[in-house]
Amino acid sequence: MTRCFTMEYAIWFRVLLFGVRRLGIPLPLGGTSVFFHTHVLKEIGAWDAHNVTEDADLGMRLARLGYRCDLVRSVTFEEANPQLGNWLRQRSRWLKGYAVTWVNHMRTPLRLWRDLGTGPFLGFQLLLLGSVTAYLAMPLFWVLLFAEVTGIKPQWLGAVDRTVWSLFFISLPLGNLTMICAAILALYRRRLLGLLPWAFTLPAYWSLGSIASYRAIFELFTMPFHWQKTQHGLARKSVSRTETD
């Protein structure tokens, strides 16, 4: 899991965010290594204390007020989450925060469109809403794939048009292949070529995100402001136990 976590971070910080910036889409800021002009931070009201991804929301608000965030080619180390339960809590918090950020800004969609412009507005939808819905839709993709491979199809699947089936069987492998290629590029940029064989395990790793997404949506309606704590130091404890054993 830690290998996949490392690759995922490399994709995000070494490939995707640079593409987001180049396309002019508002950057969802991360929680570490972010630098601000203090007067700007005060001007926009600083962080939203009720948003569990307050950094991503801050990036959107900066963009709406005409400020531009940029990226610095540097490295900030973060502990890769080694335990599934801890990983799910962390990931569900991130996805819930993205959903909250999307809902907050889409309360006035026309104003958001005017603030950002057409391209960044569409990018905002893809980045925040798309990040959540892609995970939510993943079980349906696997059900359709299972039905096609085994021939066991529930009655409701009979109503699915063949064109939809064709699009599905193109998009699923193409999407995974694209992200695997992004992982290979990211690992090359980070000089982590030893992880290359593990890039092909990423589709299975991303499937775990579907569990986190449904938990995130449940919490969005039941406890939207609850912060699922991430336990840190687990990697060091694991190493200590190994050395002791």
Quote the percentage of the chain above a pLDDT of 70: 90
Answer whether 55's CB lies under 8 Å from 28's CB: yes
For the stretch 63-114, pLDDT in tens is 999 998 888 887 778 888 888 888 999 999 999 999 999 999 999 999 999 9
Mean pLDDT of 206-218: 92
Between 127 and 168, the more confident residue is 127
Residue 228 has pLDDT above 60, yes or no: yes
Q: Would the pLDDT of 60 be above 60? A: yes
Residue 235 pLDDT exceeds 90: no
pLDDT band at 240 (very low <50, low <70, confident <90, very high): very low
pTM over 0.75: yes
Q: Which residues contact 28 (CB under 8 A, 6 or more apart)?
A: 53, 55, 56, 59, 60, 98, 101, 127, 128
DSSP alpha helices (H): ranges in the chain? 2-11, 17-22, 38-43, 54-64, 84-105, 109-116, 118-124, 130-150, 162-189, 202-222, 234-244
Q: What is the pLDDT of residue 243?
A: 29
Per-residue confidence (pLDDT) for residue 242, from 0 to 100: 28
* Phi, psi at 75, each rounded to 5°: -125, 130
Q: For residue 238, is pLDDT > 60?
A: no
Rounded Cα distance, 205 and 85, in Å: 14
Per-residue pLDDT at 151 exceeds 60: yes
Whole-number Å distance between alpha carbons of 221 and 114 = 29
Residue 239 has pLDDT above 50, yes or no: no
Q: Tell me the mean pLDDT in the region 214-238.
A: 83
The pLDDT score that the predictor gives to residue 154 is 67
- Determine the average pLDDT of the residues in 34-59: 89
pLDDT in tens, 170-203: 777 888 899 999 999 999 998 999 999 999 999 8
- Rounded Cα gap, residues 5 and 80, in angstroms: 6
Q: How confident is the model at residue 33 (pLDDT cuts 50, 70, 90)?
A: confident
**What's the Cα-to-Cα distance from 103 to each of 73, 78, 106, rounded to whole Å?**
31, 29, 5
Compute the average pLDDT of residues 221-244: 67
> Average pLDDT in the 23-48 region?
86
65: nearest Cα among 94, 36, 93: 36
Q: What is the pLDDT of residue 236?
A: 62
pLDDT at residue number 158: 65
For all residues of the chain together, what is the average pLDDT? 85
